[in-house]
Amino acid sequence: MKLTLILIIFFALASLQDDLRCREISGLGFCKEISYDVSSLYVPNEREMDKEASEFYSKYSGTMKVNTGECLEAFRSYTCASRFPKCPYCQTQNAFCRSGCVRYYAACGCGPGDTTLTCYTGDIYVDDEQVCTPHTQDLNLYSCVLPTGLQFCNSTFVTQPVYSVKNIQSASQVWNNMDLVASRRYQSFASSTSSLECKNVIKKMFCGINFTPCLNGQHQDPRSYLKTICDEMADHCDERMVRKLCTFDTPTPPDPSKCKPSNT
Ligand SMILES: *[C@@H]1O[C@H](CO)[C@@H](O)[C@H](O)[C@H]1NC(C)=O
């Protein structure tokens, strides 16, 4: 009986400590969508953090390659999510929800090598079912659209809708950029093989990475889609090429339950 009481008190204190490490934040000016528990360690002063986010955004939003309304909103959302990690992530760790990353790339395109595949490799994005920091773009701005006007990944290589912003003018900017990226990456790999079949599969690969078809009206994990292309690559390209292009490294993100308060 005594032991039970002691245990109850112990767990009550432990959860009180959790509460001190996490506190709900809302009503900010710039990051107005933030309305959940954030780590008090990471965010000692939310007004300061909000101001810093706003300054960061002002400084860098003009440098985005694609500067459509959708991309700027995705960038703003990312700027805030990165500063307000959802509890129980700790000071040095943030885990973003994968959906936000996917929408960021769908709205902004990106530099060489950066595609939605980025959202599936590395350890800072986790499936939305886990505890993760959401990005908050408006879902209604996105849908699956068949890209048009591509030069390199032409209609032979891109035959199905891809996850994009609905507005075609905005989407076109992203597609053109992705098309260019696919072409550059293709060239850097294709020059190392003389096999036409292999070159063709490499082209399929990069067009598939940059224009992964939707599945059931939703964005599809590019790794599943690329699997058949990788099998084909194994038939036509040398082993090193296959290893280079078909190894998708996905480390496990930190386990939030391992977080410790900084004073222990
Ligand atoms: C797409 O490009 C390839 C060359 O890589 C060409 O053979 C094919 O005819 C083109 N398809 C269309 C529909 O233009």
Q: Which of 206, 211, 208 is nearest to 185 (CA)?
A: 206
Best residue among 153, 156, 201, 205 to mutate for probing ligand 1, ranked by most atoms within 8 Å of CB:
156
pLDDT at 263 over 50: no
159 lines ligand 1 (CB under 6 A): no
Q: What is the mean pLDDT of residues 110-121?
A: 80
Secondary structure of residue 156 in the 3-state scheme: coil
Q: How confident is the model at residue 262 (pLDDT cuts 50, 70, 90)?
A: very low
154 lines ligand 1 (CB under 6 A): yes
Q: What is the 196 CA–ligand 1 centroid distance (Å)?
A: 14
Q: What is the pLDDT of residues 30-53, one digit of tens each?
A: 999 999 998 887 888 999 999 999
Q: Give 201: exposed, middle or buried? Use CB within 10 Å, 0-12, 13-18, 19+.
A: buried
Best residue among 154, 183, 205, 206 to mutate for probing ligand 1, ranked by most atoms within 8 Å of CB:
154
Q: What is the mean pLDDT of residues 17-31?
A: 80
96 contacts 135 by C-beta, under 8 angstroms? yes
Q: Whose CA is nearest to atom 8 of ligand 1?
A: 156
Q: What is the pLDDT of residues 166-191, one digit of tens each?
A: 999 999 999 999 999 999 999 999 99
Atom of ligand 1 nearest to the CA of 154: 1
Q: How confident is the model at residue 254 (pLDDT cuts 50, 70, 90)?
A: low
148 lines ligand 1 (CB under 6 A): no
